[in-house]
Structure 1
Amino acid sequence: MELLLQFFNTLFELSNEMAPYILFGLIFAGLLHELVPDTIVKNHLGQNSLLSTIKAAVFGIPLPVCSCGVIPLAAGLKKSGASNGSVLSFLISTPITGVDSILATYGMFGWAFTIYRVVTSLIISIIAGIIANFYTKKEIAQSVEEEHTSCCSGSSCCSSSSHEKKFSIKGVFKYAFVTLLGDIASPLFVGLLLGALITVAIPQNLSEILLEYSWLSYIIVILIAVPMYVCATASLPIAAGLMLAGVSPGAAFVFLSAGPATNTVTIGVVKEMLGKTTLYIYLGTIVVGSVLFGFVLDYVMSGVDIKEMIHLHEEAGIVAIASSIVLWGFVLYFVFGNINKKFKVFS
């Protein structure tokens, strides 16, 4: 009973922490959909090229969006015609960095560590995008051909795309909370439940375990960081705490890199939106890249002198709780609404 209460309490806290960013991402994606023509996305991010992948990665670096807030933005890019590689590159680079995270990293670790974090996230995201474009090239080409054939089967070839898009507030919210949220509701629901379960399962004495098994610290950090939800800024005090406890800077860096870039929610959405192949590329590139750059950091730096650790733990405010209620309302509506529809079909 105690574990069950702890699970629901963790789920509540996790929802409060994530919901405002997810809702912000949905609204931002809706605004982009209304303001930015799909042709611009297709022209700049729709090609299976290195330049498109780099553009997506660079575009994502300054955005102050977490690994869950980036989901609706990435979904919007995909719907607008961006390639798998561009979407994946954006998905990885955006949550690891961000203006707020960059400034916080500088305040805690200095410019050298900050630049290293930004550059490595850029490299990892670009490599992931290149690999994704290479392995999904045939799938994308087939999809584009089918869409072209379908679109041009009528009397006019894709005539609907030539109409100029008019901005509409109603269109923003319809696209955000009906189209996008409807697409990601199921993996979001499962991801939140798994995220809470994993958070409860993580031992409280993490730093002691990492010190006791220092030779396994990289693997342990990866196993914890990949499914766990932690935003780029919130990961900083955790990493600083690990370093102060004696964990190597490289292992702490792995947490800073893999933690914000992945979580159970994003993993589920990537699988549904981009397919299994891209999901494996997404996870594999982040894991290998984070560990590799962690080793490099340990080799270059004998240690990191942290004089002050920043750790803020604030109670959820009204905005966070209200956002959580709104998000869960939509998610439950889409999830159980779809289940009821499927049940009626088979009954």
Structure 2
Amino acid sequence: MADLTQNPTVSRQALRWIKTPWTVSAVLLLAVALLHPENIETVVLFAVNALLHTGRYILFAVLLLSYLKATGAETMVARAFEGREVRMILLAAVFGGLAPFCSCEVIPFIAGLLALGAPLSAVMAFWLSSPLIDPPTLLITAGALGWPFAFGKAVAAVGLGLFGGFAIKALMGRGVFANPLKQVQKSSCCGCGAPKLDSKPVWAFWREAERRQTFRAEFVTNGLFLLKWLALAYVLEALLVSYVPAETIAGIVGGEGVGTIAIAALVGMPAYLNSYVAPPLLAGLMEQGMSAGAAMAFMIAGAVSSIPAMAAVWSLVKPQVFATYLALGVSGAILSGILFQML
């Protein structure tokens, strides 16, 4: 103990290790083994089989994301912010779902666009749709909840971007948000470098040693990231299915009414699970009585209200823009859930 106290670096490293998804998964399984040893085999097999089922999606998603990063294709997103404002909003909402950015990596990208004079309406359209869907999330959602739900989420992401973009445009037309920015930041919260907006993609990335290294680094980093979070997700899903009575779930978010969908959205905001963990858990909830509309509202509200996404908004814009971002996210989540339930 004295050594750990005298060596704060070791203490910090130990704390980071304890807080990893791997450790949480191991602790949860150990608890089941100690408290209910007769159930440990069922829980482990459920989690392993679910992870293997999603494995092909993980592999494809990681390869795709690594390729986009190595080629520099994310710079193409910047083209969505050129031209007329209405056109910018439309393209920004679509490209928001295609951009391979994490919630904190988008900070310098958004800051650069605002500094270059891109209208807040188009930036908000991108900002709202970007946390909801990207190629890896689309594939993982399809693996856990099926392609209809994955496509529904993708459509909802674009729809929320359009809803937010045109709402901001209308407000700005009345003189609101004349000066939305705080102080422009130059680096992201996780150390990711800002994309170079004036560079061009190099599709044959393997011809350059630096890009090959980028591909390898992204493949390993994203592969481990997805694997650890999905492993935790499926362990949690296995525990949910095994220990939470179906009538409890159905009583809270069951049914098909508008009220249930609104409750799911409001619960989803503080109870955020990242886009890689949420689909497997929602699959378990839906098996126990959660409606499809409530699941969609829960997922969308949670993604918009994630700590990285909210930190991105708060770090760049003034409080009234931040409040509008959250209001648009919640109302858009409820509306998406209602429409998805109807369809």
Aligned residues: 230
> Which string of whole-angstrom CA distances, capped at 9 and with x for unpartnered residues, describes residues 106-156 of structure 1?
233333222221112101111101111222353666789xxxxxxxxxxxx
- 1:236 counterpart SS class: helix
2: distance between equivalents of 1:237 and 1:205?
Answer: 15
Q: Does 1:260 align with 2:260?
A: no
- 1:176 counterpart SS class: coil
Give the corresponding residue for 1:97. Answer: 133
Give the corresponding residue for 1:306. Answer: none
Q: Match of 2:187, as an amino acid?
A: A
- 1:97 counterpart SS class: coil
1: distance between equivalents of 2:176 and 2:340?
Answer: 37
**Which stretch of structure 1 is more off in the superposition, 68-77 or 242-251?**
68-77
Q: Does 1:129 align with 2:165?
A: yes
Gap change, CA 1:207 and 1:238, over 3 Å in 2: farther
How far does residue 226 in structure 1 lie from its aligned partner after superposition?
Answer: 1.7
Q: Match of 2:111, as an amino acid?
A: A
> Which string of whole-angstrom CA distances, capped at 9 and with x for unpartnered residues, describes residues 189-223 of structure 1?
xxxxxxxxxxxxxx996976542234654344323
2: distance between equivalents of 1:142 and 1:91?
Answer: 18
- Say whether the 8 Å CA contact 1:56–1:86 is kept in structure 2: yes
Q: Does 1:282 align with 2:325?
A: yes
Give the corresponding residue for 1:212. Answer: 251
Give the corresponding residue for 1:297. Answer: 340
Q: Does 1:176 align with 2:176?
A: no
RMSD over aligned Cα atoms: 4.4
- 1:232 counterpart SS class: coil
Gap change, CA 1:140 and 1:284, over 3 Å in 2: closer
2: distance between equivalents of 1:257 and 1:292?
Answer: 10
| Alignment partner of 2:142 out of 86, 95, 106 | 106
- Say whether the 8 Å CA contact 1:231–1:260 is kept in structure 2: yes
1: distance between equivalents of 2:121 and 2:18?
Answer: 32
Gap change, CA 1:142 and 1:252, over 3 Å in 2: closer
1: distance between equivalents of 2:17 and 2:269?
Answer: 18
Gap change, CA 1:250 and 1:142, over 3 Å in 2: closer
Q: Does 1:73 align with 2:109?
A: yes
2: distance between equivalents of 1:296 and 1:96?
Answer: 17
Consecutive unaligned residues of structure 2, counting only runs of 5 or more, are 1-14, 25-67, 193-239
Gap change, CA 1:65 and 1:244, over 3 Å in 2: farther
How far does residue 243 in structure 1 lie from its aligned partner after superposition?
Answer: 0.3
Gap change, CA 1:69 and 1:259, over 3 Å in 2: farther
Give the corresponding residue for 2:286. Answer: 243
Give the corresponding residue for 1:233. Answer: 276
- 1:67 counterpart SS class: coil
2: distance between equivalents of 1:269 and 1:10?
Answer: 26
- 1:95 counterpart SS class: coil
- 2:101 counterpart SS class: coil
Give the corresponding residue for 1:82. Answer: 118
- 2:117 counterpart SS class: coil
Give the corresponding residue for 2:91. Answer: 55
TM-score by length of 2: 0.54
TM-score by length of 1: 0.53
2: distance between equivalents of 1:84 and 1:206?
Answer: 46
Q: Match of 1:176, as an amino acid?
A: S
- 1:136 counterpart SS class: helix
How far does residue 63 in structure 1 lie from its aligned partner after superposition?
Answer: 2.2
